[in-house]
A = this chain, B = another copy of it.
């Protein structure tokens, strides 16, 4: 019997094997966002109790591509960049809990296991996918610039099927980078019961956001977004009824934990109730 170390599994005597290091986690990256409206009933389908639809503009959705480089406090991952670079595409809606409006990631794909591990901790429902987004570069031979007229593409595939495509042409600097992903996140962390057919063994509602945030100017522009069918995904249920806007922004972020909003009892799938406030 030993005291093991490590923020996450596998825990060992040294803690060195942990899939993810202890927070804080540091990120530099580029965000390409398309915001649009869908039928609020489709958003409601993704909000288990005790969450409710946001009071204003409840059908607003943000589809976000992010191209990240990230590291722990040691910064050692930056010198072995297979351990620091990853891409993701994710869908954010808003919801209400305890009288407050939260952002909530309902679908997300990443391309590294450490990103999946962080997602388990933070309550992001991460799957593996293949994401690509056009990169800006100072030289225009094979790249746009972050400037009026700069055109960026972004794609998402998983299971060898293309799931989404966006094109964004920048028009002008913008006061915001969108509003759907601007609240703290409200996410579930759940373990299904291990026995066959059992209800959830553990369910917690947690809140988190960045502990530090820096950003360049946000740019807005003309955006197009297409969602495709897949037998294992439901992205296309969040039908694009009306484009709100497209945005591009370079950011630096630190994440250092969150706060437990509530421990839930009963099964999350059929009306969990708050058994303990966080």
Does A55 sit within 8 A of B, measured CB to CB? Answer: no
Interface of A is mostly: mixed
Does A242 sit within 8 A of B, measured CB to CB? Answer: no
CB-CB < 8 A to A137: which residues of B?
Answer: 28-30, 69, 250, 252
In the complex where A155-B80, A202-B191, A252-B139 touch, is A132 in contact with B233 (Cβ < 8 A)? Answer: no
State which residues 186-225 of A face B: CB under 8 Å: 188-198, 201-202, 204, 206, 208, 212, 214-216
**What range describes how many residues of A lie at the interface?**
35 or more
CB-CB < 8 A to A9: which residues of B?
Answer: 125, 188, 190
Contact with B along A51-77 (1 / 0, CB 8 A): 110000000000000001111000010
CB-CB < 8 A to A149: which residues of B?
Answer: none
Cα(A206)–Cα(B191), bound, Å: 12
CB-CB < 8 A to A160: which residues of B?
Answer: 82, 130, 132, 155, 157, 160, 162
Residues of A within 8 A of B (CB): 1-14, 16-17, 19, 23-24, 26-30, 44-52, 68-71, 76, 78-85, 106-107, 112-113, 116, 120-122, 125-128, 130, 132-135, 137-144, 151-155, 157, 159-162, 165, 167, 188-198, 201-202, 204, 206, 208, 212, 214-216, 231-234, 237, 250-254, 256-260, 268-271
